[in-house]
A = this chain, B = another copy of it.
Amino acid sequence: MASREERKKRITQRREKQILDAALLVFSRKGFDKATVPDIARQAGIAVGTIYNYYPGKRDLLIAITNKYIIAPFAEFAANNAGYTDAGFIAAIMENRLSFGLEGLEKFLPLFIEMQRDPELRRRYSEKVLSPVMTMMEKLVASRIEAGAFRDVNPAVVTRAIGGMVIGFMLLYRVEGDRSPIHGIDRKNLADELASLVFQGLVRK
């Protein structure tokens, strides 16, 4: 028995999702600058003006998307894995990210690229997502080093190398497309190969 207030709120949220999903799709396909607000409206099946009833401008759509699809999920992920220091974690996170990345590649990579060009978005992303993730992984690597499991590497550098590998791998995957010899390979196998490379690179022998 939803009150009037609650029903209204639900409708509002549905609209916001509708708009954000459409914007994400259009931004991904054409890039932020080339995407037009009428494009987004058409994709969402609503009128141009409606978008402006929910978001004050085109750039705010980008910000909202970033919040909803990147920052919020990461925050949740981070909260759930705060104390995790197990050795298998690296492989897990890598597979997780890689799966997520290859899956949503066409969708989110253009978004990530777009963010590169907006200093404020870049800063927000850096603060809310990258720094926490990096810090978490740094601690993990440091604890493994201390435990004698890993070689004596610089945790900060190595962490960024691993994170960068995941991102860069996806970029290359996309750029090469079906011309790449790795195009058909199963995602799980790709993740395993990367994880193994990193693990062997870190482990003390």
Contacts and interface: CB of A to CB of B under 8 A. Distances in A.
A140 to B, nearest CB: 15
Given A130-B176, A153-B193, A205 B205 contact: yes
Contacts of A33: 31-34
Contacts of A134: 172, 176, 180
A138 B193 CA distance: 15
How many chain copies does the complex carry? 4
A57 interface: no
A interface residue count range (under 10 / 10 to 19 / 20 to 34 / 35 or more): 35 or more
A157 interface: yes
A116 B157 CA distance: 26
A74 interface: no
Interface in A132-167: 134, 138, 151, 153-154, 156-158, 160-167
Contact of A116 (B110, B163, B165, B205): B110
A138 B177 CA distance: 17
What is the predominant secondary structure among interface residues of chain A facing chain B? helix
A50 interface: no
A11 interface: no
Contacts of A194: 157, 161
B179 A126 contact: yes
A161 B126 contact: no
Contact of A163 (B113, B122, B166, B172): B172
A31 B205 contact: no
Interface stretch (A14-22, A78-86, A195-203): A195-203
Most chain-B Cβ atoms within 10 A of its Cβ — which of A125, A176, A205? Answer: A176
Contacts of A92: none
The 5 closest A-B pairs by CB, nearest first: A164-B168, A168-B168, A201-B201, A33-B33, A164-B169
